[in-house]
Amino acid sequence: MAGSALDLACIANGFPLPVITWLVQSHERLEERVTSPTHFNITHNYSHSTFRIRHARPQLTGVYTCIASNAAGSDTESTNVVVHSKLMSNNSK
């Protein structure tokens, strides 16, 4: 729901330890799109990477892809994220 936080997790094991990158529908690297730390945060901890949307909004709806790659190859996992607008009730003023 709009305004909520959303965490997308990616876990990748291998030797050498895979490098994890995040892509969105247009295949742009999300790290390059993270211009406002108010909205996004990417953390890496060994084989675990988390992409956090701090304040989800409908414009962020899309397919998010985690790519793990090392000298042995690469693997991907994608998820479809849909952010719905908040509904206003008649009682809220």
CA angle 2, 61, 36 (to 5 degrees): 70
> Is 64 a residue whose pLDDT tops 60?
yes
> Is 36 a residue whose pLDDT tops 60?
no
Q: Which two tokens stand for residue 37?
A: 């730390």
Choose among 41, 30, 36: nearest CA to 67: 30
Domains of the chain: 6-81 (2.60.40.10)
Mean of pLDDT values over 85-90: 70
What pLDDT is recorded for position 38? 63
Residue keyed to tokens 């790519």: 67
**pTM above threshold 0.85:** no
The more confident residue out of 38 and 93 is 38
